[in-house]
Amino acid sequence: MQKGAELYRGKAKTVFLTDQADLLVLEFRDDTSAFDGEKIEQLERKGEVNNKFNHFIMQQIEAAGVQTQVQSLLSDTESLVKKLKMIPVECVLRNYAAGSLCRRLGVQEGVTLNPPTFEFFLKNDALHDPMINESHIIGFNWASQAQIDEMKALTFKVNSVLSPLFAKGGMLLVDFKLEFGVDAKGQIILGDEFTPDGCRLWDSETKRKLDKDRFRQGLGSVVESYIEVARRIGLAL
């Protein structure tokens, strides 16, 4: 497998073509952004930490029967991934109230949501990822009803796998977002990443934040907290 030209450059990751049409190289960079790119910094080792963290988490998800695009680690900052046609929708599951949910509904941070809530958002930085519903998704042909149902079911399954994993490490999986794509066979596959950049994790006892909110809120020790999360779930970095 030979790494080819750059295909896409996001806020924190770069995607490269390879000499195999169905495979891509996903590079995690040290770039860190918040508020749709309004706040950007370079944090040493963040790319390496997120790459290895994502590979570890995707292995746990694969073992539970959910297909992911991650194939293998290539280097400290690169992974080999399956090429997907990404669905421009973010699936967000919330176990506890935090972030935009509190701002929208005026509810207190940390309230337990039982059962967990599920929301769709359009993946569009220019529009600040607006909240959407199933009618929007079907009406604009972003996904079919069958694909919507599968993405929702897989999101809840991921929650059932990862919530206990983090709980064993003394953490609450507060919320997270997932993105899905379609492979050449038409199958729904979990894509993008699962790292502390795209979820909220709190210490179970102290409620200390261990995720990207440390960057958003200027709390410091961002990468150090990511490494702590990894250590707590059995990944040495």
Residue 228 clears pLDDT 90, i.e. is over it: yes
Residue 235 lies in a domain: no
pTM of the model: 0.96
Rg (CA), the chain: 17
Mean pLDDT, the chain, integer: 96
- Same domain, yes or no, for 185 and 123? yes
Residue 233 lies in a domain: no
pLDDT at 37: 66
Task: Give the integer Cα–Cα distance in Å for 201 and 84.
Answer: 28
Residue 236 lies in a domain: no
- Same domain, yes or no, for 48 and 109? no
CATH classification of the domain holding 38: 3.30.200.20
Task: Give the integer Cα–Cα distance in Å for 145 and 134.
Answer: 8
Cβ neighbors of 14 (< 8 A, separation 6 or more) are 6, 8, 26, 27, 29
Residue 211's domain spans which residues? 85-221
Residue 95 contacts residue 101 (beta carbons within 8 Å): no
Residue 40 clears pLDDT 90, i.e. is over it: no
- Same domain, yes or no, for 109 and 210? yes
**At how many degrees (to 10) do helices 46-63 and 145-168 cross?**
110
> 95-133: per-residue pLDDT in tens?
999 999 999 999 999 999 999 999 999 999 899 999 999
Residue 103 lies in a domain: yes
Q: Is the backbone of residue 93 left (phi > 0), alpha (psi -120 to 50) or beta?
A: beta
Task: Give the integer Cα–Cα distance in Å for 52 and 58.
Answer: 10
- Same domain, yes or no, for 210 and 106? yes
Residue 1 clears pLDDT 90, i.e. is over it: no
pLDDT at 195: 98
Q: What angle do CA 206, 30, 210 make, to 5 degrees?
A: 5
Tell me how many domains the chain contains. Answer: 2
Residue 48 lies in a domain: yes
- Same domain, yes or no, for 160 and 62? no
- Same domain, yes or no, for 72 and 96? no
> 72-95: per-residue pLDDT in tens?
999 999 999 999 999 999 999 999
Domain termination site, one of 59, 82, 105 = 82
